[in-house]
Chains A and B, each alone.
Chain A
Amino acid sequence: ETGVTQSPTHLIKTRGQQVTLRCSSQSGHNTVSWYQQALGQGPQFIFQYYREEENGRGNFPPRFSGLQFPNYSSELNVNALELDDSALYLCASAIQGAAQYFGPGTRLTVL
């Protein structure tokens, strides 16, 4: 158990809809990162938040956005869902620069 939790566990949406995924960081961790993992692939970095500011972003379009709250919980929002957005979404928390601890993930299916 890493102390990082994610909700919901599974989610089914249709193309064009919007979705919000949630992550609760491990206590004391001030950095949260989000990753997308397609079936059979390694996770791909979406973005990172540090002290409520986005401070790094991977190769994902602006319809992927996020928030980090003062209690270090976090949200990933995806607008205008596409079929290729179907994946396991992982969040990871850390103390800045240290090892990242991953949550169990949210499985998103877009129909």
Chain B
Amino acid sequence: KQEVTQIPAALSVPEGENLVLNCSFTDSAIYNLQWFRQDPGKGLTSLLLIQSSQREQTSGRLNASLDKSSGRSTLYIAASQPGDSATYLCAVRGAKDGSARQLTFGSGTQLTVLP
């Protein structure tokens, strides 16, 4: 059974800092990995999707990397802003029959960027 862990659970940084959020997963047989942002009480906004054959994806100030063999992904946020404050979730889609139907999520990292 796939398990996804995100460290740290919470992070508070001053505005302008570069930061890294970590995600690890136990089963390396994945189809893809997705990073999401969730504002309090709201739905999920997809930030980046990395296919299993890819090593990284970039969008603006965000860069996500994937090391499938070691079961790790990182989300790098450059020059953080107060508007980046939210919970960041990573989720993996399995590559095996059955597991491919679902996303398995970590519990998220709650990020606060202080002005």
State the main secondary structure of chain B at its contact with A.
strand
| B32-55 vs A, Cβ < 8 Å mask (1 yes, 0 no) | 101010000111111001000000
B50 to chain A, nearest CB (A): 10
Q: Which of B31, B36, B43 contacts A104 (CB 8 A)?
A: B43
Q: Which of A42, A56, A105 contacts B43 (CB 8 A)?
A: A105
Q: When A41-B107, A42-B106, A42-B108 are in contact, do A90 and B43 touch as well, CB less than 8 Å?
A: yes
Q: When A42-B89, A42-B107 are in contact, do A58 and B102 touch as well, CB less than 8 Å?
A: yes
Residues of A within 8 A of B (CB): 2, 4, 6, 33, 35, 40-45, 48, 55-56, 58, 88, 90, 92, 97, 99-105, 107
| A42–B105 CB distance below 8 A | yes
How many interface residues does chain B have, given as a range? Answer: 20 to 34
Q: For A88, list chain B residues within 8 Å (CB).
A: 41
| B101–A43 CB distance below 8 A | no
Whether B98 sits at the interface, judged by CB under 8 Å, is yes
7 contacts between A and B (CB under 8 A): A2-B45, A2-B46, A35-B103, A42-B89, A56-B101, A90-B43, A99-B49
